[in-house]
């Protein structure tokens, strides 16, 4: 999979565009800037937006090509982001270190998903916010983006179980119009969550 993503991000255009995910942008507006963790950040569209809004951003992805494009995007925007190339399922950050974290269309097998979500919760401060948007199981029959394996698509109850110790601030499962570059475009079945660490 690493080579798949390096190949996709090696393309000159930004695979998912350069504008931030709309749900992420809307939720970030409700928070005071602080330290933000973005695992599986890809080409940097969300990281650069957050940095423009005053956030201290730490992004992680295992694609060197993604990092290259993310840093170029940040330079063009005149902002600075921290970006580490690593496997997010084994990457560890200090406990209670971040004010917010976001998972945006980050699709992983069940055990890797649980490890990554546990690490996100672990690194949030008390009162910290976690923002998540992903393709739902119902997306499998659509051609508007996302994995083509059911086990890589999510159900709300699975995600809530992953974050069972966190307070649910917002949840949504249904159809949304997505416009994010050539690979995420059109009516899509999504799951959205906003959670707060107790």
The pLDDT tens digits of the residues spanning 61-85 come to: 999 999 999 999 999 999 999 999 9
Strands, sheet with 166-180, edge to edge from the N-terminal-most edge strand: 82-85, 56-61, 35-39, 98-104, 124-135, 184-197, 166-180
Alpha helices (runs of H) in 30-109, residue ranges in sequence order: 45-52, 64-77
Query: The pTM is what?
Result: 0.96
pLDDT digits (tens, 9 = 90+) for 145-181: 999 999 999 999 999 999 999 999 999 999 999 999 9
Can you tell me the distance from the alpha carbon of 50 to that of 5, in angstroms, rounded to the nearest whole number?
Answer: 23
Tell me the mean pLDDT in the region 5-22. Answer: 94
Nearest to 121 by CA among 75, 163, 82, 179: 163
Look over the chain and give the mean of its residue pLDDT values, rounded to a whole number.
Answer: 96
Please provide the CATH number assigned to the domain covering 2-197. Answer: 3.40.50.150
Q: CA 6, 37, 187 angle in degrees (round to 5)?
A: 65
Per-residue model confidence as pLDDT tens digits over 133-148: 999 999 999 999 999 9
Residue 3 scores a pLDDT above 90: no
CA dist 29 → 45, 53, 90 (Å): 16, 9, 30
- Answer for the pair 59, 36: CB distance below 8 angstroms, yes or no: no
What was the pLDDT predicted at 65?
96
């Amino acid at each position: 999979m690493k080579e798949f993503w390096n190949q996709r991000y090696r393309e000159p255009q930004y695979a998912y565009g350069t504008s931030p995910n709309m749900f992420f942008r809307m939720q970030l507006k409700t928070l005071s800037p602080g330290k933000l963790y973005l695992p599986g950040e890809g080409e940097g569209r969300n990281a650069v937006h957050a940095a423009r809004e005053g956030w201290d951003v730490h992004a992680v992805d295992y694609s060197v090509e993604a990092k290259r494009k993310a840093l170029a995007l940040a330079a063009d925007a005149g902002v600075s982001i921290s970006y580490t190339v690593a496997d997010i399922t084994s990457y560890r950050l200090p406990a209670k270190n971040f004010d917010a974290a976001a998972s945006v269309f980050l699709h992983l097998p069940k055990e890797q998903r649980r490890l990554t979500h546990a690490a996100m919760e672990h690194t949030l401060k008390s009162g910290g916010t976690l923002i998540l948007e992903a393709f739902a199981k119902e997306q499998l029959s659509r051609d508007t983006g996302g994995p083509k394996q059911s086990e890589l698509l999510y159900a709300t109850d699975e995600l809530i179980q992953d974050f069972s110790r966190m307070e649910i601030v917002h949840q949504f499962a249904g159809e949304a119009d997505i416009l994010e570059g050539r690979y995420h475009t059109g009516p899509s079945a999504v799951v959205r969550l906003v959670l707060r660490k107790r």
